[in-house]
């Protein structure tokens, strides 16, 4: 058993692993460098598959069913900048080790870890939860004319734009038995508290009542034809939608639309990569035998480990460079 471990998992034992520092004569590289690039090649295929699914779904979407301007652009821009800064600091951390400056390495690595944590925190404690409390109702096409004051399709047609089929905002009242009733109740209380109005809850049992987004409050306003950089505050206008006129209705979760399905899948997988990177950086930053303790015995080996982890981190940054525009901006 121990022989097997030594043979196949030498990094768990004291066995000397060849070419952690020196280059293998046949590849000209230390082995982990080749290993990480092979891994990154497989990652290109993984994200490539998801991006091609995104293209497929977006090209195939019927006019009006691919939304834009639903994500918070300033927050997304800030998170992009944070990832770029972390890419700079991780390469500086590696360079510091190469120059045998342990103190600087620790500092740069700490900044990298903090940047990664901020990115994840913003994503998980702000961006995603905001979506889970935002509600969208797709109106059946044959009933759309009844909701023209919220959809503005006549204006959009005149302007040569795609039609609008969705009314979105905060759900204040849901049809009886809806799984969103609890959320609606909570939102209605908040709405009443903010505005002093108590007309959000209707006696009808088959209606959705939505405090609509600015775009649905003034759908024929030219200002709303294109997305805004700064998020526009929600209106206090209410839309009452009969359940019979609804094609589908849900919060902005993966089930809502192909847009949100791909958004959560790709940003979720990307977030898992950020988390993985943070864990590896923590290991290399703390005094583990394979972490900063390694500096005393073999600083070059530690530098190489940081380079490998850094290559992964840059790849994660590189993926985000494409994720940010395709979901937030375009």
Partner 1 sequence: MSASPSHVPATQATSHGDHAAADQAAEAAHIAAHLGAYVKVGVGLLVLTGITVGLSYVDFGSRSMNIIVGMIVATIKASMVAAIFMHLKGEKMTIWRFLIMTCIFAMGLFFLTFFAHSDPIMGTSYSTH
- Considering only residues 166 through 195, tell me which ones interact with partner 1, judged by CB under 8 A: none
Residue 314 touches partner 1, criterion: CB under 8 A? yes
**String of b and e for 97-112 (b: at least 16 CB within 10 Å)?**
beeeeeeebbebbebb
Number of chain positions touching partner 1 (CB under 8 A): 73
Q: Pick one of 75, 85, 118, 120: the residue that binds partner 1 (CB under 8 A).
A: 85
**Distances in Å between the alpha carbon of 321 and those of 111, 258, 316?**
20, 21, 9
CA distances from 85 to 91, 119, 144, 300 (A): 10, 11, 47, 25
28 sits near partner 1 (criterion: CB under 8 A): yes
Of positions 91, 172, 249, 308, contacts partner 1 by CB under 8 A:
91
- Give whichever of 208 and 320 is closer to partner 1, judged by the CB atom: 320
56 lines the binding site for partner 1 (CB under 8 A): yes
In this chain, which of 229, 236, 272, 288 binds partner 1, going by CB under 8 A? Answer: 229
Give the one residue of 5, 7, 13, 100 binding partner 1; rule: CB under 8 A. Answer: 100
Q: Minimum CB separation from partner 1 for residue 32, in Å? A: 11
Site for partner 1 in 277-306 (CB under 8 A): 297-298, 300-301
The residue written with tokens 């046949």 in the block is 26
- The residue among 185 and 225 lying less far from partner 1, judged by its C-beta, is 225
Cα 271 from Cα 325, distance rounded (Å): 16
Helix, strand or coil, per DSSP, at residue 117:
helix
User: Under the criterion CB under 8 A, does residue 21 sit at the interface with partner 1?
Assistant: yes
CA distances for 180 relative to 16, 173, 175, angstroms: 59, 9, 9
Tell me which stretch binds partner 1 (CB under 8 A): 39-47, 206-214, 216-224, 235-243. 39-47
Using CB under 8 A, which of the segments 3-11, 75-83, 111-119, 209-217 binds partner 1? 75-83
Q: In this complex, which beta carbon is closest to partner 1, that of residue 55 or of residue 244? A: 55
Interface with partner 1, residue 98, by CB under 8 A: yes
d(CA 3, CA 10): 10
* Element (DSSP H or E) covering residue 74: helix 73-98
Binding-site string for partner 1 from residue 240 to residue 279, where x marks contact by CB under 8 A and - marks none: --------x--------xxx--------------------
CA distance 63 to 54: 16
Q: Cα–Cα–Cα angle for 303, 309, 314, nearest 5°?
A: 115
């Amino acid at each position: 058993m121990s022989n097997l471990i030594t043979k196949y998992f030498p990094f768990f034992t004291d066995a000397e692993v060849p070419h952690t520092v020196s280059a293998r004569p046949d590849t000209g590289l230390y082995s982990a460098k080749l290993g990480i690039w092979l891994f990154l090649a497989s990652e290109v295929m993984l994200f490539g598959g998801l991006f091609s699914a995104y293209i497929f779904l977006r090209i195939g979407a019927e006019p009006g069913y691919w939304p834009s301007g639903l994500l918070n652009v300033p927050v997304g821009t800030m998170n992009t900048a944070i990832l770029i800064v972390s890419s700079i600091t991780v390469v500086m951390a590696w360079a510091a080790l190469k120059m045998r400056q342990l103190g600087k390495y620790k500092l740069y690595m700490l900044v990298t870890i903090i940047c990664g944590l901020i990115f994840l925190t913003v994503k998980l404690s702000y961006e995603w939860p905001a979506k889970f409390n935002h509600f969208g109702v797709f109106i059946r096409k044959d009933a759309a004319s009844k909701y023209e004051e919220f959809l503005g399709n006549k204006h959009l047609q005149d302007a040569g734009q795609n039609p609008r089929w969705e009314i979105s905002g905060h759900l204040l009242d849901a049809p009886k038995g809806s799984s969103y009733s609890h959320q609606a109740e909570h939102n209605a209380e908040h709405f009443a508290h903010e505005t002093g109005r108590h007309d959000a809850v209707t006696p009808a049992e088959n209606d959705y009542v939505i405090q609509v987004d600015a775009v649905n409050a003034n759908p024929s306003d030219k200002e709303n034809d294109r997305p805004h950089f700064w998020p526009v505050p929600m209106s206090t206008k209410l839309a009452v939608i009969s359940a019979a006129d609804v094609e589908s209705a849900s919060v902005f979760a993966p089930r809502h639309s192909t847009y949100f399905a791909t958004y959560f899948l790709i940003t979720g997988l990307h977030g898992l990569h950020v988390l993985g990177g943070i864990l590896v950086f923590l290991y290399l930053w703390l005094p583990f035998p394979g972490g900063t303790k390694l500096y005393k015995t073999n600083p070059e080996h530690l530098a190489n480990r940081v380079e490998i982890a850094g290559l992964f981190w840059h790849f994660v940054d590189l993926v985000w460079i494409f994720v940010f525009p395709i979901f937030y901006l375009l």
